[in-house]
Structures are given as C-alpha cells and as structure tokens.
Structure 1
Amino acid sequence: MTATSRRAVGLDFGTTNTVAALADPTGEPMLVQMDNGDELFRTALCFWQGDDARGGLAVEAGPAAIREYLELPSDSRFLQSFKSVAANASFDTAPVFDKRFRFDELGKLFLEKLASHAGGSLDRLDRAVVGRPVTWAGSRPEEALARARYDAMFGSFASEILYVYEPLAAAYGHASRLTKPATLLVADFGGGTSDFSVVQVAAPSANQRCKPLGHAGIGLAGDRFDARIVDKLVLPFLGKGGQYRSFDKLLDIPGGYFADVADWSKLALMRNRRTMAELDRLRRSALDPDAIGRMIALIENELGLLLYDAVNLLKRKLSTDEHATFSFEHADIAIEADVTRGEFERWIGDDLARIAATADRALAAAGVDETAIDRVFLTGGTSLVPAVRAIFADRFGIDRIDSGGELTSIASGLAQIARLDDASAWSVGADSAL
C-alpha cells in the first residue's frame, strides 16, 4: 500500500464531538486545530434570529454555538446529538423558529461552520474518509435511510467520500503502534453507539497490515447512560409517575414527554407550538401542576445544554470517585442529590449487559473466542466509565487492555486510511472490510 499526495482528511463526525485529521503522505496524521486551539469541535448547532443574518436566521456550530446559546438561551435554539436521528424514520425535520430543517440540511450547516473554524484546513478536499457506526443509534434504525442522509450531508464536502466503520478505523490506527502480529478487539464507545471490530494485525513488514474479521454494534452508549440519570434524578421533579384528570377519570401522564426530555436529540425539538400547547393543557389538568410547569420551564428556557453539562459532570466525577453530588438549579428547577457509583452502575446494568452481549456477537462474527484475542483496545469517551472498562478487564484481564486517545483515535485512524491509494478497500461494503 502506498501513500497518496491528494488532499485527504479523516473525519470522525461524532454524536458529542467531531474531530478531523489531515492525511499526511509522509508521516503521522495531523489533527486539525480549530480557531480556539482545540482539536474537539462540539457536534452542536445554535440558531438565533437576526435582521442582518441570511434569511433572518443566524447559525453557529461547535464552541461558538455554545457561546451564542449562553448569551441568550431563551432566544436561541440549541441542537445537539443530532447524529442520533440519522437512521430514525420518524424524524422528518427539526423545527427552528418558523423554519424546518432536514437532517442533511442540519449536517451541511454544521460542516460549513466546521470548515470555517478550521482556518482553511478543510477547504478543497480531494477525499474525505468519514467514520460511521457499525449499527446506527435508535430502537429500529434504518441503514438505507442513514446512508442516504449521510450522502446528502457529505456529498459536497470533498470530491470523494468514503465511509469506514469507526472501530475499524481505530483498529487501523492502533495497529501502527503494535510491533508484532496480534488479534485485536476494538471497542468504540461514543455518545450514541457502542461498536466492535475484530482485526487480525500482521507483522509491521506485511503488505496488508490489517485484516478485518468481524463487526457488531448496538445503538446505545453514553447518551443512554445520561438518560438513566435524567430518569432517576430529574424526571420525578417534572411529573413522571404523576396523573392528570380527564373528566371523571384519573389517567397517567403519557410517558412520551419524559422519554423526549431524557433524549438530547429530542429535548430541544420539544419547543414547538403543538407540544407546548399540549403541555399547557396537561398542566391545567395535572394533579401536580407545578411539576408540569417545571417541565415547561425547562423547555421554554432552552435548558438542555445546562442539564447535559450537569449530567456529564456527575458521570465524570463518578468515573474517579465512589460518590458525587448531582446539582441543577435553573428557572425555578432546583435538584440536588448524592449518588454513589454503585447506584449509577445499577441504573445502567441492563445497558452494560447488552453491550457485553454485543461484544460476544463481534467475536462470533469473526469466528474466534476470547482466548484468541491478544489485545483489547478501548476508545471513545464512554470507555472511561469504570463499569464499561470492567466488562473487558474482568473478561480478558487487565494486562490485555489498551487505551489512549479516547476522543481522537478514530479520526487519526481514518486519516491513515485516507492516505492510502486503495482506501476504498476499507469502506463499508468492500470485501476486505466485511
């Protein structure tokens, strides 16, 4: 395999963060630094109305979106984790003030802002190798729909677009650090999905260094863990478990509202006329109207980002400490609770079991058992959760576990693939990548 001199990039378009790495024909991939000096670009959009903006609607992405949101939360629309709806047929358009945006339109706006903050590094690209999950997020993901939406989103980003499984990209990058043959299990835990690839790594002198053996994935990861925290600590204050009066009957408050509040990709979309009118009617008939009022305040005041930050602060603390305090106080909503790591791990117990079962499916797809795995490489932000790491440390032994570059390893691997003349051999659907 030989390197190419074309302008190529590896792009890890993530649920939480996006990372780009330029393919350097002469050496290691170069992570793209944004204009704020950071390599991580938050996968988020903020819209606000302005007379001097194109079409009367201004937009920013990444850290700039967060800054705009924090300046005027209630007068903006902040969208995050929108990658999670790529394969969701029930998602049609996102309402933003008086306009509606398809998935690909949101994606193109995001890529446009990503490029503008990259200082020209992402202009006039010949090739972009884009990461994608093995299995898309959602309860019933539609592969063809997600592919069509990705094609529409990325079609003009570079002259040639290739899609590579995210854990396979991480495996390719990690293989460059290995000095002898090995069978590698890569586990990528992001915001929306947990994905696995089993790869046979040959000696450094081999013509083909990596041979994919099998893959498996599941549409749950860090955002699902967040939803468990919101369900236990926040939703009871917003009316979950309550009732409302309908004529002479007492009925349970519909659970769909609470499911949407706990889903980062849906919470911001609740701020529309129909949903807000429904919640106002529900508040007037609820046995605990103040609780529904707090839900309305959460939505009207665009508090999704602040809630996200509070939830993730709790997760980070519980990754290093045995107990931590959850605190959220905004717009007449005041919640404080002590949480132990053991409690959190019980909340996500079923999710952990499903993740472990997905790793089993990857081994089965590869035709190997755990004794054949020489190294396990864990990557993605959610891999830092102790209970996630314990699944693999307990099963394979701590001495076989590798990690590092949790937020950048996929982009680096994608860039290394992008520099190959035969990069298409690694794209989803190519024989060598199945």
Structure 2
Amino acid sequence: MSSAFQDVSIGIDFGTSNTVVAIADRGGRVEALTFDHRGARLRIYTTALCFWDERDGNGLRTRVEGGPWAIERFLEGVSAHRFIQSFKTFAASASFQETRIFRERFRFEDLLSTFLRTLLQHAGGRIDLAAGNITIGRPVEFAGYNPDDALAMRRYGTAFGKLGAGHARYAYEPVGAAFFYARELTRDATVLVADFGGGTSDFSVMRFSRVGGALRAEPLSHTGIGIAGDAFDYRIVDRIVSPRLGKGGSYRSMGKILSIPNHYYANFARWNQLALMKGNGDLKELRELARSALDPEPLERFADIVEYDLGFDLYRAVSAAKVALSSEEETEFRFRAEGIEVCAPVTRSQFESWIAEDVRSIGDTVDRALLSARVRPEEIDRVFLTGGTSFVPAIRRLFLERFGESRLSSADQFESIAYGLALIGQTDDPDRWVVGPRERERATMSLP
C-alpha cells in the first residue's frame, strides 16, 4: 500500500442520485472528498454521465464527463450527446445487458467504471483506489423488478476491479449510517437506522453498548425494499405528466382502435430508463404511434422529451414539487422546455394519496426489520433517519406513529453513509462487517 494512504480508510457511497466519498484517519476524524466546480466546493458528486462526440483529426472521438461536469456539459447542448442518470438501478437487472452510446456498447460495469474514472480525475490524486483501505456501500435490497443480488455484486466487483479496487469490502448502506450515528451515543442503545435513497429504502437494527470503555456494535437485522425517492417521483409524473403525453389515449391499427401501450410510460419509474429510449427503438415507435394516434400532439410531446433529452429538466421539476410539498400544503408543478409546457396545481393530500401504497410497503419493511431483530417498537431507543425522502411528511409520520418524536433524529442527508463506511475501515477488524456469512453471524466489534 502506498505510504500516503496507509493510515486512512475510504468510504464510498455510490448512490442513485448522488455519490459521496469520505476519508477517515486513525484518530477517527472523517471528512468528505470535495470537488471544485465553478468556484464552489462540492461534497457530493452527482451520479450522472454525459457522452458527446468531438472532431479528432479526420474522425470523431467520444468524450465523457461525470458528476456536476456531466450536467454542465448536458445543459450546454452544443453537440450530439447522451446523458445518463440514475444508472445504479440497472445493477441487479438481468434484462439490462448493454446500451449503445454512439459507436460503443456499454454494460452496467462499463458505465460504473467510467463514472468512477471521472470522479478520480476530478479528485486530482487525493485518493487511490488501488492502494486504499476501501469500504463500499450497497443496498440491503437492490432496486428493480426481481433484482438479482449476486449479479449486482459481480458487476460492482468488475467495475471497481477495473480501477484496482478488487480488494474492497462491501457493507450495507444503513450499517454505514449506523456507524456514523453511533459516535453521538453516550449510553447503551438499540438503534433503528432508516436509509432512504433514490432507488431503495434500507433498514438496520443495531445494538450499541459500552464494554471496557469502548463502544461496541452488534447488527440484529437488515431489511430493504426497492421503493424510495424515484418511486415517489414516478407517482407525480404518472398523475400529472403522463396523461398530457398521451397515456390513456388511442391509435388506429388495421382498422381497429387500440390503447396506447402503457409500457412507454413505465419508463418514468426509473429516470435512467427514460434516457435509454433514444437508442433502444422506443423513440422511433413513439413517432410511428403519433402518426396513427387519434390525438397525435401528446405523443409528439412525449417523443420530443426523449429526442431532446428533456428527462433531466423533468426530473428537476418533479423534485422541486416534491420538496415544496414537504413544507407546504399546496404547490404548482411546472415543467417548461423546448416549447413543451405542463403546469398543474398539486396538494400534499393528493400526493400522499398517490404514494399511500408505497408508504405502506415501506412500513411493512420496517416492521419486518423489527420482527427479524426480535425487538418491539418500544424497545428501540433511537431512530436515525437519513436520505432526502426521510423529509417527506408521510414518511416521517410513519416513524412518528411507531416510535414518537423524542426518539427520532437525523443527520446530513448526503454524507452520513460515506462517513460511516470510512469509519468501518478504521475498526480493529473491518472485514467483520462485509456482507456475507460472517456479517450474518452478528459478530461484534469496537468502533473507532
């Protein structure tokens, strides 16, 4: 190991929307890796890629940027490009084999390794994945329909291995959050950690105790579900946007009137899927459907959103509405781009009715975590909430009803997991916390 990295450990929280890298030293000090962008020091690196073509001599060369630089390049829109976000949700999907970007084919592991290379480039040599003591977070349950856990971990291993990090260990993301939170504890406690990401919601029950003056941790249970922020976004799009883009409409085919297939609109459930419609044949099919639709204009708007890569603008409009409804009873959804305009009032009560089934499923997953840990709600001393979705009133109310206000706490929604993962690397035996048989044996260990 390089001498510059002997005393530090690195935690990587590769998220659906944002990625955070943290560095901890032997003294227990931990900080996030920062990125200088347009005069601002950013502690998060947006999980996004932008590919574009540039003239190189007599031919074309594909260039790529990641993080905030990917968004910047995409918004400039000065040349043909492909913008990809939320691609973490492909990790456990056996149906996703590859996507074509200009003249190259990219598998999930190619997208992830490319993304990591851009991050390392902008880190400027401040971390070394080949030499480092690295702990990488992973969800308890990956997102998507029928997720293949083993496939996702093979893909992770291949991608990180390309950068020399084949030796890295993997720990559940809520366990990382628990390690970060445990530093604040002054007495023995049984803690429920709830980590809400973009694609998944994960829960861990941990028992912390003082033994000989050292704080020790014991994992009691882990559960997860592929429902989180992106699913809530989809409910807004499905109720407000999709009906204005042709959902529920009809088209003529061989003398019959048929319903426009709903599977095109299901792509809004994952922002990454929308970005791929441009290259998988869906865009061409939408244009053909528009020509035979009874009302072609909505489908033409949908095709324009795909062709002009307006998914990111739509994502920002949905996020703005969701954030507003966390503090207000009513807001107006506004999406305007390339001559397309969708504006509609939406109330918090409407939004909560749309996500009610999702919230119930999340609540059932919390209950499953308690049941597996063999603890009752009243035996949970503290509940630690992390992630942007934890601020949605319906989600917070779920925990208030089960545990009460006095037991709830939260921390920086972006950094807590990465900080905890980095701290795991400074423990006396960090490999005890890897996902696998030893972790499931509830091994205990001292925290830094």
Normalised to the residue count of structure 2, the TM-score between the two structures is: 0.93
Select which of 52, 55, 59 maps to 1:51.
Answer: 55
Residue of structure 2 equivalent to 1:13:
14
Equivalent pair of 2:324/2:331 in contact (CA under 8 Å):
yes
Shift of 1:5: 4.2
**1:23-79 deviation per Cα after TM superposition (whole angstroms, max 9, x unaligned):** 211232121111221101100000111124997111000000000000007722110
Is there any run of 5+ residues in structure 2 with no aligned partner, and where? 442-448
Q: 1:205 to 1:234 in 2, by over 3 A?
A: farther
Shift of 1:261: 3.4
Tell me the C-alpha RMSD between the 2 structures.
Answer: 1.7
What is the letter of the counterpart of residue 132 of structure 1?
Answer: R
What is the letter of the counterpart of residue 259 of structure 1?
Answer: A
Aligned residues: 431
1:216 aligns with 2:220: no
Residue of structure 2 equivalent to 1:399:
406
Select which of 200, 203, 218 maps to 1:196.
Answer: 203
Within a 5 Å distance, the mapping from 1:254-333 to structure 2 comes to 254-272=261-279, 274-333=281-340
**1:313-346 deviation per Cα after TM superposition (whole angstroms, max 9, x unaligned):** 1111111111111101112311111111111111
Within a 5 Å distance, the mapping from 1:350-429 to structure 2 comes to 350-429=357-436
What is the letter of the counterpart of residue 370 of structure 1?
Answer: P
Shift of 1:99: 2.3
Select which of 164, 173, 177 maps to 1:166.
Answer: 173
Larger relative strand fraction: 2
What is the letter of the counterpart of residue 154 of structure 2?
Answer: A
Residue of structure 2 equivalent to 1:64:
69
Within a 5 Å distance, the mapping from 1:100-139 to structure 2 comes to 100-123=105-128, 124-139=130-145
Within a 5 Å distance, the mapping from 1:15-94 to structure 2 comes to 15-36=16-37, 37-52=41-56, 56-72=61-77, 75-94=80-99
Moved more, 415-424 or 101-110: 415-424
Within a 5 Å distance, the mapping from 1:180-195 to structure 2 comes to 180-195=187-202
Percent of pairs identical after alignment? Answer: 48
Equivalent pair of 1:9/1:125 in contact (CA under 8 Å):
no
Shift of 1:420: 2.3
**Residue aligned with 1:320, SS:** coil
**Residue aligned with 1:302, SS:** coil
**1:120-166 deviation per Cα after TM superposition (whole angstroms, max 9, x unaligned):** 22225322100000000012000111011011111134362110000
